[in-house]
Amino acid sequence: MRPLITALILLAACTDSNPNIHEPPAMTASPSQAPDQTEQPNGKTLLRQAQQQYDGYYKYQAAYLAYQAAQADETLSPHLAELAKNY
């Protein structure tokens, strides 16, 4: 009988009394602080992305981003201006 009692005590000690303890914490940012995914990037962001794409040999994507940056009245570097012109 003594081993059974010891086993039950050990089982009770090992059993999680709080089942939610292993769940990840809830998001603390309020919805108003969450980034708006529908917001369009500004011209400077488009220009930076175009330069990164150009440097990474993704010229078609760079041309598209450069074209958008030009539409946002950003001044393009000569190589990006050439891409945007041919887009």
pLDDT at 73: 92
Give the CA distances from residue 33 to residues 1, 28, 42, in Å, rounded to whole numbers and listed in that order.
59, 10, 19
Q: Evaluate whether residue 10 is within a structural domain.
A: no
pLDDT in tens, 2-29: 666 666 666 665 555 555 544 444 544 4
Whether 2 is in a domain gets the answer no
The reply to whether 3 falls in a domain is: no
User: Is 73 part of any domain?
Assistant: yes
Q: What is the largest CA-CA distance in the chain?
A: 88
Determine, yes or no, domain membership for 72.
yes
- Residue 75 lies inside a defined structural domain of this protein: yes
Name the residue type at position 73. Answer: D
Give the pLDDT of residue 1. 61
Average pLDDT over residues 55-84: 85
Average pLDDT over residues 42-63: 81
Please give the residue range of the domain that contains residue 80: 41-87
Work out how many domains the chain is built from and give that number. 1
**Percent of the chain predicted with pLDDT > 70:** 54
Mean pLDDT of 53-58: 73
Distance CA 68, CA 46 (A): 7
Mean pLDDT over 70-79 rounds to: 91
Residue 56: inside a domain: yes
In a domain? residue 16: no
| Residues whose CB falls within 8 Å of the CB of residue 49, separated by 6 or more in sequence, listed in order | 41, 65
**What is residue 63's predicted lDDT score, i.e. its pLDDT?**
83
Distance between CA 59 and CA 80 in Å, rounded? 9
